[in-house]
């Protein structure tokens, strides 16, 4: 999308799976995400903070001006239960980087007053102006924007095309360009980057899946804010508790964070624990007779050391986004475009 803004660029997307696919023979993460913006950057990680801030601002622009992008403004509230505060955080209040500096203002960050939550359950809570990205629709919007920019379809002047194909190695990707051989390849293969024959051997070791399971329900709960309860259950340490109310009256109910789990089985008892936690922690909402439409799972493409945005000759690697591929997307795209331009400028001389 960002590359097409330069009218001299022509782009072909090669993919095994596309956003409107509903079953995947091989891992494809993006359609499974909720998704929200909740940057995970550490307090001193300015690089990721800049990327996530850039993305936040872009999503805000879409919220305000582009309804068909399917990004919806939602207050995002996080509650920290007392047991987690005591056992895991050792009684120290932990706030994210965007609770400070100019980002605090931009994002409307605010700690909740104790009168606003149940102090017998929670040690503290905070909120900010967040969002829900309706991922399937949002990605379709992006594709349609690219077709618009293409100006033409399947002719010698078209600047965009999509190709369903499976590549075994990055070197093969050059041959799929709609107008002959590509000059540069951008590798956004997510978790499957590790299967590419010509990826560096150390990269294969770095990538690992963190499985997520979410329920898509009809939102009869009355919940209008994006709500996260930062739970810790020593018996089920992989289980989380978060909710994303989508624009069309759906509720994403999550989830789990299962490191190195690439299975497809879902524990049938999980939903019962999730609902009993809902009744305990979020009793202001109605959890009776909730109708679950679908259970879905995906593999967050984690990479040891964080994500990779790096140019090696005429390949730009952009993968390993773990649990934050949407919230980092626009910032990561901006960095990738810089790397493409760097290559284009070098190859001119």
Ligand X SMILES: Cc1cc2nc3c(=O)[nH]c(=O)nc-3n(C[C@H](O)[C@H](O)[C@H](O)COP(=O)(O)OP(=O)(O)OC[C@H]3O[C@@H](n4cnc5c(N)ncnc54)[C@H](O)[C@@H]3O)c2cc1C
79 or 321: whose CB is closer to ligand X? Answer: 321
Cα 300 to Cα 186: distance, rounded to the nearest angstrom: 20
Stretch that binds ligand X, among 30-38, 80-88, 216-224, 226-234 (CB under 6 A): 30-38
Cα 264 to Cα 27: distance, rounded to the nearest angstrom: 11
x/- string (CB under 6 A) for ligand X, residues 44-83?
Answer: ----------------------------------------
295 or 344: whose CB is closer to ligand X? Answer: 295
Using CB under 6 A as the binding rule, the residues of this chain from 143 to 182 that contact ligand X are 166-167
Does 300 engage in binding with ligand X (CB under 6 A)? Answer: yes
Residue among 231, 253, 232, 233 at smallest CA distance from 242: 253
30 known ligand binder = yes
123 or 131: whose CB is closer to ligand X? Answer: 131
Among 4, 11, 32, 125, binds ligand X (CB under 6 A): 32
Does 243 engage in binding with ligand X (CB under 6 A)? Answer: no
DSSP labels, 137-167: HHHHHHHHHHHHHH-SSSSTT--EEEEE---
Pure H helices in the chain: 46-65, 82-87, 101-107, 135-150, 170-173, 201-206, 270-281, 329-348
Strands 250-256 and 207-218: antiparallel
Among 30, 39, 72, 227, binds ligand X (CB under 6 A): 30
188 or 251: whose CB is closer to ligand X? Answer: 188
Stretch that binds ligand X, among 151-159, 174-182, 276-284, 315-323 (CB under 6 A): 315-323
Tell me how far CA of residue 199 lies from CA of 196, 207, 316, 319, in angstroms: 6, 12, 12, 12
Q: Residue numbers of the site for ligand X (CB under 6 A)?
A: 14-17, 27-30, 32-36, 166-167, 188-192, 212, 214, 255, 298, 300-301, 319, 321-327
Residues making up the annotated binding site for FAD are 29-30, 189
């Amino acid at each position: 999308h960002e590359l097409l803004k330069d009218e001299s660029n022509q782009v072909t997307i090669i993919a095994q799976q596309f956003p409107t696919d509903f079953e995947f023979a091989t891992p494809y993460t993006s359609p499974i995400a909720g998704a929200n913006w909740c940057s995970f950057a550490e307090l001193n990680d300015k690089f990721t903070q800049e990327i996530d801030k850039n993305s936040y601002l872009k999503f805000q622009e879409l919220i305000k001006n582009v309804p068909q992008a399917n990004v919806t403004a939602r207050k995002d509230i996080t509650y920290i239960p007392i047991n987690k505060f005591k056992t895991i955080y050792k009684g120290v209040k932990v706030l994210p980087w965007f609770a400070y500096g100019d980002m605090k203002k931009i994002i409307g960050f605010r700690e909740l007053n104790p009168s606003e939550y149940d102090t017998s359950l929670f040690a503290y809570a905070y909120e900010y102006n967040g969002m829900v990205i309706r991922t399937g629709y949002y990605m379709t919007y992006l594709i349609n924007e690219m077709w618009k920019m293409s100006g033409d379809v399947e002719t010698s002047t078209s600047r965009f095309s999509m190709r369903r194909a499976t590549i075994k190695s990055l070197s093969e990707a050059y041959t799929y360009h709609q107008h002959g051989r590509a000059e540069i390849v951008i590798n956004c293969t997510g978790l499957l980057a590790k299967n590419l024959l010509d990826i560096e051997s150390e990269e294969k070791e770095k990538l690992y899946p963190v499985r997520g399971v979410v329920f898509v329900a009809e939102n009869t709960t009355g919940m209008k804010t994006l709500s996260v309860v930062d739970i810790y259950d020593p018996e089920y340490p992989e289980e989380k508790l978060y909710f994303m109310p989508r624009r069309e009256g759906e509720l994403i109910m999550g989830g789990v964070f299962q490191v190195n789990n690439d299975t497809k089985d879902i524990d049938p008892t999980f939903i019962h624990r999730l609902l009993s936690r809902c009744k305990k922690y979020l009793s202001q909402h109605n959890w009776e007779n909730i109708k679950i439409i679908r259970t879905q799972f995906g593999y967050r493409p984690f990479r040891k050391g964080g994500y990779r945005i790096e140019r090696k000759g005429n390949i730009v690697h952009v993968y390993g986004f773990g649990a934050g591929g949407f919230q980092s997307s626009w910032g990561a795209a901006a960095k990738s475009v810089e790397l493409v331009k760097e290559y284009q400028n070098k190859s001119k001389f």
